[in-house]
Amino acid sequence: MARRKSSIVSLFSGALGLDLGLEQAGFEVRVAVECDKFAAETIRQNRPDLPVLEKRIEELTTEQILRAAGLRKGEPTIITAGPSCQAFSTLGSRGSVSDPQGMLFRHFLRVVREARPRFFVMENVKGVLSAAIKHRPLSQRGPGFPALGSDEELGSAFLLILKELQTLGYYVTFDVVNAADYGVPQTRERVLFIGSRDGERVTIPRATHSRDARIGELPWVTLRKGLKGLRDRNPQTLALTPSTKKYLALIPAGGNWRSLPRRMQKKALGAAFDSWGGRSGFLRRLGWKRPCPALTTVPDGKATMMCHPKKLRVLSVREYSRIQQFPDSWVFSGGLPQQYRQVGNAVPPGIGKAVGRMLKTTMKRNRPGSVKHTLVCASDDLIRRISERPKTILNPIRMRKVKSTKASAKWMSKSNGRRSEILKYASNRRVA
């Protein structure tokens, strides 16, 4: 019998984006665990021979998962996971680890602890870095409200996640990666955790591309290049409202609501005009000459618009799929909203391929015990930035209950400070 490829046990599989990339590097998915019926059907349509466990991970034992994969404890090469990120996303409800979806990473830890794979790869949205164990709405912060508890501070959930990862007894490294740095035509940032059971020195994959094409790296792939050659003669898209079309018709490629005449901006944005923040996604028309912004699950959303650079419509499902690097032949199940959600939630295979190549190199070296079973961040600059961020933020003063800068400063002095606990995860412990 031919020797089988190194194995992947895929948890929270979605449409298999991360795992497709690992397969391109020479690994083999042996089982997929996915409770969403549309994503599970997508896997079955494209991989009819792959066992799919269409259940919530809370309902499955590790033994059931391994049996479906034809593996025993200690045999999986990699366990992959992208626990539901809605609780951590800056666009979501910010329920954090107190949200049932925020607790799903613990079930991932359970399976790793019991299956003992050689490696694990876990990813999540960048918002996890600032997530709190218990979320307090902005409208309930500031003078006139109690000081924050330690579990309400920004970053408290992330510290908890790091502490629980340490209990696995693996060597773990983590960092924020940008998909565009690996040849994906999209600036999509994710937090990546890679673990090694045997103390092999796993690393965050080195970037192959960069914005300014540094020496030894290629330039970022533009949207135009990413969509080149795509045949999409009957694009399947969500319909835009007449008023949205009216405004988008006035916006050039690469622009957004700020490109409108000033007299039209307030009416176009509605209540959002008086809010704060970048609002770059409002009435956004994409540009050809740079990578696409991070795809969202709602391309026609008021704050998440993904309008085609030239045509008066949002990007089609097939264009979404190409930007996320799925094969053009990949079929997505469900109606348009379900298809956009599957593609928008996926990890581009380009990231998985880069991770897979790094793991293959590590396996060839076969140097167990070369590093201690500990957890470190691959970027001391990231650690420094996290440590220097405030533990809370407030609404603009005009939106606060008590509109006094002095009262706000006093309240912040009780609820703020340096996130110094994160410093112990720096690879260089001398970070100040």
**CA atoms of 285 and 292, how far apart (whole Å):** 10
Indicate the pairing of strand 209-210 with strand 171-178. unpaired
**CA atoms of 112 and 118, how far apart (whole Å):** 10
Question: What tokens does 81 get?
Answer: 């996971």
Residue 15 near residue 321 (C-beta atoms within 8 A): no
The torsion angles phi and psi of 195, rounded to 5 degrees, stand at -120, 150
Size of the chain, expressed as the number of residues it contains: 432
Question: What tokens does 148 get?
Answer: 């924050």
- 122 bridge partner residues: 81, 193
Residue 257 near residue 266 (C-beta atoms within 8 A): no
What sign for the dihedral angle of Cα 181, 185, 191, 193? negative
Q: What is the CA radius of gyration of the chain?
A: 23
Of the candidates 35, 85, 292, 307, the residue annotated as catalytic is 85
- Known catalytic membership, residue 292: no
Report the largest interatomic distance among the alpha carbons of the chain, rounded to a whole angstrom.
76
From residue 208, give the alpha-carbon distance in Å to each of 179, 190, 211: 10, 17, 11
**CA atoms of 299 and 34, how far apart (whole Å):** 24
Active site residues: 85
